[in-house]
Amino acid sequence: MIEVERLTKKYGDLVAVRDLSFKVAKGKIWGLLGPNAAGKTTTMRVLTGYIPATEGKATVAGFDVFEQPNAVKKVIGYLPEVVPLYPEMTVSDYLRFVAALKQVPTSQRKPALERAIQVSGLASVKGRLIKNISRGFKQRVGIAQSLIHNPDVLILDEPTIGLDPAQIIEIRELIKSLKGEHTIILSTHILAEVTQTCDGVVIINEGRLMASGSLEELTASFREKERVILRLRRGHEEALAGLGAIPGVERVSRQNGELAVEWNPRKDLRESVSRMAVEKGWGLLEMRTAAMNIEDLYLRVVSGGGEQ
């Protein structure tokens, strides 16, 4: 649905995005992750046609962003980092204006407006002036304007920035509910946002691609050891020695009353481990994979470098 190939954007001598390539499949939510000034907003601005790229190619829904900007703009809904609102307009008037701007046919504007208001939960404030509504509602109006023409692709630049925790959860739920029907790219520097809302992630730093892929793929590719945590009722000492004797197990250690068993990720020893725990009667209460989380991944990628 979205393809970016060797995209470079320079502002004078400053290179904001360098040789960036990634793909996003239809109906998925992808996070564009990176520290501040990594080039997230620039990438989004190029995709939406707000600014042209210096080099490279980007296509959205099969249309080239540079060759067919108006075709691309019709299929994209965009929420910029600073929500583009006219404070002196009412919520309904504003959304009506955006619908006209996005060329929603006159006959379909009313249902489009009602749908956007309903999906974004704006019914209670639709008649109020935008300047008089809360920050959370303003963000919702921003999302509603990006949805009004029912675009195939949604590009959301830091959609939860500046919101309180309850509002953040609401907006995340809203974004998740849009998945499937819309392909979504959202940028963020909040790691939890990616794990909670995204199917995949593109990590960039200083304008360069550091890693991209689905969350499982990425964490798996960066994992050097497979790690399983066991909770046993009894026999910890015996288990320490016994599990360590399983061929392929590299290390068994105690961790907060639990046992951590590590082996090379090319093998799958989970069955052998669980069988031994049951056969020896250690009282296996729980066994879980300690996946490498996004925090570990992000810190490694951003601070350590190395393209994947």
Selected from 5, 6, 11, 127, the binder of other proteins by CB under 8 A is 11
Selected from 8, 15, 57, 80, the binder of other proteins by CB under 8 A is 80
Euclidean distance between CA atoms 201 and 194, whole angstroms = 7
Closer to other proteins by CB, 100 or 169: give it. 100
Maximum CA pair distance of the chain? 75
Selected from 38, 58, 98, 294, the binder of other proteins by CB under 8 A is 98
Amino acid residing at 268: D
Tell me how far the alpha carbon of residue 90 is from its chain's centroid: 31
Give the closest residue to 151 by CA, choosing from 92, 104, 81: 104
Give burial (CB, 10 Å; 0-12/13-18/19+) of 129.
middle
278 lines the binding site for other proteins (CB under 8 A): no
203: β partners: 33, 211
Q: What are the tokens at 95? A: 């959304």
* Binding residues with other proteins: total (CB under 8 A): 30
Give the closest residue to 60 by CA, choosing from 52, 48, 50, 78: 48
CA angle 293, 211, 159 (to 5 degrees): 75
49 lines the binding site for other proteins (CB under 8 A): yes
Euclidean distance between CA atoms 56 and 5, whole angstroms = 6
Please report, for residues 122, 232, 239, the alpha-carbon distance to residue 285 in angstroms, rounded to integers and kept in the order given.
47, 6, 14
**Stretch in the footprint of other proteins (CB under 8 A) among 20-28, 87-95, 161-169, 231-239:** 87-95
Give burial (CB, 10 Å; 0-12/13-18/19+) of 306.
exposed
Rounded to the nearest whole angstrom, what is the least distance from the CB of residue 276 to other proteins in the complex?
Answer: 59
Selected from 3, 19, 64, 93, the binder of other proteins by CB under 8 A is 93
**Stretch in the footprint of other proteins (CB under 8 A) among 42-50, 180-188, 234-242, 293-301:** 42-50
Selected from 78, 263, 282, 298, the binder of other proteins by CB under 8 A is 78
DSSP H or E segment with residue 115: helix 106-119
Rounded to the nearest whole angstrom, what is the least distance from the CB of residue 51 to other proteins in the complex?
Answer: 5
Closer to other proteins by CB, 39 or 200: give it. 39
15 lines the binding site for other proteins (CB under 8 A): no
17 lines the binding site for other proteins (CB under 8 A): no
- 228 touches 288 (CB < 8 A): yes
**Stretch in the footprint of other proteins (CB under 8 A) among 48-56, 160-168, 239-247, 258-266:** 48-56
88 lines the binding site for other proteins (CB under 8 A): yes
123 lines the binding site for other proteins (CB under 8 A): no
Rounded to the nearest whole angstrom, what is the least distance from the CB of residue 301 to other proteins in the complex?
Answer: 29
Contact residues for other proteins, defined by CB under 8 A: 11-12, 45, 48-52, 70-71, 73-74, 76, 78, 80, 82-86, 88-89, 93, 97-98, 100-103, 145
